Amino acid sequence: MQVKRYEDVEMEEVGEDGAKNVYIQWLIDEKIGKNFAMRRFVLKKDGHTPLHRHDWEHEVFVLEGKGAIVNDAGEEFSLTPGTFAYVPPNEIHQFVNRGDDDFVFLCMIPFQ
Amino acid sequence: MQVKRYEDVEMEEVGEDGAKNVYIQWLIDEKIGKNFAMRRFVLKKDGHTPLHRHDWEHEVFVLEGKGAIVNDAGEEFSLTPGTFAYVPPNEIHQFVNRGDDDFVFLCMIPFQ
C-alpha cells in the first residue's frame, strides 16, 4: 500500500485553454492506480476550468472553499465542502471559484 | 450532472464479520456512476473495518479525525485529514479509528 500527504505531491498549473488560476495535483496517477485517478484541484480566487466536455466522467468531492459547477444552459449548482457531484461523459461543465479563498476539490476520472 | 450533499445520503452500518462501529454511505453507486464508486466511511470511536483482502483496489482520502491503516505485518500508517492511500488488489489491510472522534474518509472502488 501507499500512504502519503497531499502536500507532498507536486502542484502544476493547468495550462489548458479556458482555464484560469487552476492548479492540479495527481495524487493517484497511472503509475500508482489501476482503474482510475485521484486528482486534487485548487482554483485560486477568480479561477475557473474551461467550459468543456470530454468522453470520460468526473466524480467530485468538495474539500474547501465556495464554488460552483456550471452546465451547458449556464445554470450554476453551488459547491461547498461536503458536496459531491457526478458529471457523466460528454456533458458540458465548468468549475468556478465563487469565493475569496481557494476552492479545493477531489476529482476522480477513469484511466483511458 | 448530479450535485448532492453527503448528509442527504442514507448511512448504513457495515454488518460484515470483523467490522465494529463502521458506517457507510454510497455517495456514487452503480445506479449513478459508470466505472467506480465513491463511498464515505465513518468509523465511530473504537471502530475498525475487518483485517481482510479482496481482488479490487481502494483509493482513499481522509476527511476527518485520526486513524490508521494496518497491513498484514501489523504495521500502522497514520491517517489524518489530507492523507490519501492506495491499497492494491489482494493486499491485506484494515482501517482503525485511533482517536476519540469520528474517523471519516472517502473510499473509491471500481465496479466489479
CB-nearest to B34 from A2, A6, A57 is: A57
- The verdict on a CB contact (< 8 Å) between A57 and B35 is yes
pLDDT bin (cut points 50, 70, 90) of residue A13 is: very high
Q: Measured between beta carbons, which residues in chain A are less than 8 angstroms from residue B33?
A: 57, 59, 86
Chain A CB contacts of B4 below 8 Å = 83-85
Q: What mean pLDDT, rounded, does chain A reach?
A: 98
Looking at 3.20.20.70, 2.60.120.10, 3.90.340.10, 1.20.120.1200, the CATH number of the domain B11-65+80-110 comes to: 2.60.120.10
What pLDDT sits at residue B112? 82
Band of the pLDDT at A109, cuts 50, 70, 90?
very high
Q: How far apart are CA A89 and CA A92, in angstroms?
A: 9
Complex ipTM value: 0.97
Contact A3 B32 (CB under 8 A): no
CB-based contact A108 B1, cutoff 8 Å: no
Closest CA to A77 of A61, A96, A101, A49: A96
SS3 content of chain A, % helix, strand, coil (to 5): 5, 55, 40
Q: Which CATH number fits domain A12-110: 3.30.420.40, 3.40.50.920, 2.60.120.10, 1.10.940.10?
A: 2.60.120.10
Encode pLDDT of A28-77 as tens digits.
999 999 999 999 999 999 999 999 999 999 999 999 999 999 999 999 99
The pLDDT confidence band at residue A112, using thresholds 50, 70 and 90, is confident
Which portions of chain B are predicted below pLDDT 50? Answer: none
